[in-house]
Structure 1
Amino acid sequence: MRIQNFHKIFFLASLISIVACQNSKNGTQEETTTTPSVEQKVFRKEQGADCDKAADDETRTDCARIDLLYPVVTKGEKALQDAVAAWTNNYLFSILEAEQTPKSSTLDGAAKAFFRIHDETKKEGGASAMTGGFEVSTGSEVVFNNGKYLTLAINGNAYMGGAHGSPTEALNTFDAKSGKILTWDDLVTDKAAVQALAEKKVRKERADVFKEGFDFDDTFNFVLPVNYGLTEEGIFLYYQHYEIMPYALGATEVTLTFEELGPLAKIKL
């Protein structure tokens, strides 16, 4: 009896040990798939004879400056890290390089392209207040991160001569496991219905510009925005300058809440 009891005790102890190991392994596995960690990286460079002067100094005529803040996923699925890196680089390269120039494969290469544009501008028109104010800058923000979905935003401004700078924005939601960027088809069941809902919301939020005589037409047609992403409240829509309104009217931001979307929303948080 004692031997039988010992065997029973040994068997139970082994079973508990196996379960404990499995729980430990499961716990480790859960840790590798928990909420991604995102850090903000900085990239700063400048070129010119008088970059030591203040930006508002009218005597500064030769300075090109790059001041970038952008997101990097430091902990999470490799697919997500790679997808965010590719998306971020695509945006940063696009605002540093002219459309007609060969595309770079590194941030340093894109920075060199930006400085070449500055040099060419000085060569063609001479040093001036314009060439003293060449600048590309960005900021970034983690809009939403619940472990399953990650919404990131990068906003920037580029000035390479002309009447004003070019403000831009990149906003997307990534599947934290696969790295896939969620499209409208992933988020909603009926894009036409969502577009109608979005137009109603924009008309309400920007009532001031419609009272002043603006309205959508063939030049500024209302569409779903290029930049959108998940938030705690619903789907955030960001319309850049010129996207649906003239530059002077600025950017437009609205949120379609999950309550407003109702059955149109495919994703429920």
Structure 2
Amino acid sequence: MSSRILSFFIILLIFSCKKEEKLTFSEIEITTENNALVRIFIPEATGNTTVSEAINSEIESFIASTLTIGNPEPENTPSSLSEQIDAFNTEFNNFIKDFPASTLTWEAQIDGEVMYQSDVVISIAITSYMNTGGAHGNTAISFLNFDTTSGKQIANEALFTDIKAFKNLAKRFFDAEVTDKTVLFEPDAFNLPANIGFSEEGVILLYNPYEIAPYATGIIEFTIPFEKAKDYLTFNSF
């Protein structure tokens, strides 16, 4: 009987350890053997296998889409990030073949960072710089928010219990941040940005170049403290 009880507690202990297994992140570099143009450094999740694999897959899929040149047919779309890196290099080599006298070069630099992690939500920022031979390269920052129980990405609308009320709150902070409305494409309109994320300080709202203002205006970003936003947050463990 005692051996059975001992076995039961060992099983219970193993189960408890697995249940309490937490997600951790470490930076990795992703490249390929023939890659000369793309540099990628992103956080990789480990811990709960199902959740971490889901998060890593979402991150890699997002970066692969960022590296896509043009609008390839579905059957010609690379199926993995590694293939997309090679496809980016191939596109440049084809460009040089077509325009051998060109002195332009292409490059892509992508960096990821875990901005916030709690028991319910993880917020990751992906900063990408792309130059494919234009007058200047383009920098963009994207926020990816993940549900820690599933590893699935959370849509912006699902971050809030009352998105209309949150939008009214955000407008007050936006007006305080952007005092010169003449730089905006639509000075009299206000819309939430495509990228909303979290940091230790609060809810970050970020507009990339060309989103609401010309390239020269740069990135427009501001933070709403958690104590001001907490009443509207779905994942309210802040």
Q: In the alignment, which of 171, 174, 186 is matched to residue 146 of structure 2?
A: 174
Q: In the alignment, which of 238, 250, 253 is matched to residue 206 of structure 2?
A: 238
Match of 2:99 in 1: 125
Match of 2:25 in 1: 38
Q: Alpha-carbon deviation of 1:229?
A: 2.0
Distance 1:165 1:26, change over 3 A: same
Aligned-residue identity in percent: 26
Q: In the alignment, which of 120, 132, 144 is matched to residue 116 of structure 2?
A: 144
Separation in 1, partners of 2:184, 2:37: 38
Separation in 1, partners of 2:195, 2:98: 36
Q: Alpha-carbon deviation of 1:110?
A: 0.8
The TM-score normalised by the length of structure 1 is 0.75
Q: In the alignment, which of 154, 174, 178 is matched to residue 202 of structure 1?
A: 174
The alignment covers a number of residue pairs equal to 234
Of 190-199 and 152-161, deviating more is 190-199
Q: In the alignment, which of 67, 73, 90 is matched to residue 45 of structure 2?
A: 73
Match of 2:13 in 1: 24
The TM-score normalised by the length of structure 2 is 0.83
Of 21-30 and 168-177, deviating more is 21-30
Separation in 1, partners of 2:37, 2:64: 15
Separation in 1, partners of 2:98, 2:189: 38
Does residue 161 (structure 1) correspond to residue 133 (structure 2)? The answer is yes
Match of 1:7 in 2: none
Q: Kindly provide the amino acid, as one letter, of the partner of residue 43 in structure 1.
A: I
Q: Alpha-carbon deviation of 1:77?
A: 4.2
Q: Any gaps of 5 or more consecutive residues in structure 1?
A: 1-9, 49-63
Does residue 110 (structure 1) correspond to residue 99 (structure 2)? The answer is no
Q: Kindly provide the amino acid, as one letter, of the partner of residue 232 in structure 1.
A: E
Q: Alpha-carbon deviation of 1:216?
A: 5.0
Q: In the alignment, which of 205, 217, 221 is matched to residue 186 of structure 2?
A: 217
Residues 37, 76 of structure 1: 8 Å contact kept: no
Separation in 2, partners of 1:121, 1:29: 51
Q: Deviations over 1:42-62 (max 9, x none)?
A: 1245879xxxxxxxxxxxxxx
Match of 1:55 in 2: none
